[in-house]
Chains A and B, each alone.
Chain A
Amino acid sequence: ETGVTQTPRHLVMGMTNKKSLKCEQHLGHNAMYWYKQSAKKPLELMFVYSLEERVENNSVPSRFSPECPNSSHLFLHLHTLQPEDSALYLCASSQAIRTYGSGNTIYFGEGSWLTVV
């Protein structure tokens, strides 16, 4: 149990659909992240939130829309996606966005597998 829960675990959607990925952390952390893992590529950081405020949008297309209503929940709203957006989407959390002392640890959820058809 990592303390970071993602739903759904698997999602198949058409290019005209609108869906959302949900992430919830039970660790009392203040920072949350979305990562994307595509085939044969390293995980890429997409978005960073600190205390519900977005601090990074890593050149992500607007068809991906994040939402952080509170420090425990993070959503990724998906609309008019392309087949190349099929990937594993990972949510993560940490105590703070800045590392200090011996460093924070980032905890990952198990991911949501997205297939766009």
Chain B
Amino acid sequence: KQEVTQIPAALSVPEGENLVLNCSFTDSAIYNLQWFRQDPGKGLTSLLLIQSSQREQTSGRLNASLDKSSGRSTLYIAASQPGDSATYLCAALNSGGYQKVTFGIGTKLQVIP
């Protein structure tokens, strides 16, 4: 059974700092890994999706990496801004019978002006 862990659970940084969010998964037989953003009281917004054959994906100030062999993914946020404050979730897609997405609990990020 896939388990996804995100560390830290919460993070507070001053504006402008570069930061890394971590995600680990127990079953390396994933098809892809996805990072989401969730604002308070809102649904999920997909940020980046990394296919199992890829090592990283970039979008603007965001860079996500994937290391299947070690069961790890990181989300790097450059030059953080107060608007980046949100909860960041990672999710691993497996196929055991039929495909399932397993989510971590998320990292709650606060960027202080």
Contact = CB atoms under 8 A, between A and B. Distances in A.
Interface string A55-67: 1100000000000
B95 A42 contact: no
Q: From A41, A42, A88, name the one whose CB has the most chain B CB atoms within 10 angstroms.
A: A42
Interface in B44-69: 44-46, 49, 51-53
Q: From B44, B51, B52, B103, name the one whose CB has the most chain A CB atoms within 10 angstroms.
A: B44
Interface string B66-107: 000000000000000000000001010111011111111100
A102 B31 contact: yes
Given A90-B44, A102-B52, A43 B98 contact: no
A41 B105 contact: yes
Given A2-B46, A42-B104, A90-B44, A104 B52 contact: no
Given A97-B98, A102-B31, A102-B51, A110 B105 contact: no
Given A90-B43, A90-B44, A113-B41, A106 B104 contact: no
A42 B105 contact: yes
Contacts, number: 75
A111 B44 CA distance: 7
B93 A105 contact: yes
A80 B100 CA distance: 28
Nearest to A55: B98
A92 interface: yes
Interface in A54-101: 55-56, 88, 90, 92, 94, 97-100
A108 interface: yes
A96 B4 CA distance: 23
B32 interface: yes
B31 A43 contact: no
15 contacts: A9-B43, A31-B98, A35-B101, A41-B105, A43-B91, A43-B101, A56-B98, A98-B99, A99-B31, A99-B95, A102-B53, A103-B31, A105-B49, A105-B93, A106-B93
Interface of B: 4, 31-32, 34, 36, 41-46, 49, 51-53, 89, 91, 93-95, 97-105
